[in-house]
Amino acid sequence: MKSKVLTPRFIFLTTAIISAAVCRLLSPIDNFTPVAAMALFGGAYFTDKRIAVILPLIAMFLSDVVLELFTPWGFHNTMVYVYVAFVLTSLIGIRVGRNTSVLTIAGGSLASSVLFFIITNFGVWAAGGFANGFVGLNTTYVLGLPFFAPTLLGDLFYSAILFGAFYLAQVRYPALIRVK
């Protein structure tokens, strides 16, 4: 009996997300990581939308565990905001997957970067990172701006790699194309 889950497509998508999670651990540039790209890609291409959210989330969590064990950049008091942004990025990916094109992928990547910036910096402020009130929130966003450029560039770069590699793989190996 042929497995409906372990298809060549599922294996390719899963391997791509795991590879991206490993790249996150090896990035020499702070915030230039494939985090949003993993969620966007999974959301766009897994047919089971529960897997589209859960599998990238598991890869993210496991890479966070490794970071916690071997670096000073592991878990922190605003992780819930990071994970909320990550799940929302998967949902953006589901939307991108309805009409995958260079424009929708770039737009989804840009939207997820902005969403991540807004949510995680709000989390820093809510956790007491800066003074209460609008001034403190504004300060949090202003101080977060230098981190936005590498985040956006990393999201765009890794989205191009993941989506581009999958496109080329589908051209070469038609078994990867989703049957509707």
Inside any domain, residue 102:
yes
Strands (E), the chain: none
Helix, strand, coil abundance in the chain, percent, nearest 5? 75, 0, 25
CB 85 within 8 A of CB 119: yes
Does residue 98 fall inside a structural domain? yes
Stated length of the chain? 180
Residue 17 lies in a domain: yes
| Residue 1 within a domain | no
Does 2 fall in a domain? no
Share of the chain above pLDDT 70, in %: 98
- The answer to whether the CB of 158 falls within 8 A of the CB of 23 is yes
30-68 per-position pLDDT tens digit: 899 999 999 999 999 999 999 999 999 999 999 999 999
Q: pTM to 2 decimals?
A: 0.92
Domain presence at residue 25: yes
- Write phi, then psi, for 126 (nearest 5 degrees): -65, -30
Q: What does the H/E/C string look like for 117-164?
A: HHHHHHHHHHCCCCCCHHHHHHHHHHHHHHHHHHHHHHHHHHHHHHHH
Residue 76 in domain: yes
Domain count, the chain: 1
The pLDDT score that the predictor gives to residue 30 is 87
User: Residue 142 in 3-state DSSP?
Assistant: helix
Whether 18 is covered by a domain: the verdict is yes
Mean of per-residue pLDDT scores for the chain: 93
* Residues of the domain holding 115: 8-176
pLDDT single digits (tens) 86-124: 999 999 999 999 999 999 999 999 999 999 999 999 999
Structure tokens at 134: 């609008």
Distance in angstroms (rounded) separating the CA atoms of residues 53 and 45: 11
Of residues 170, 156, 54, the one with CA closest to residue 105: 156
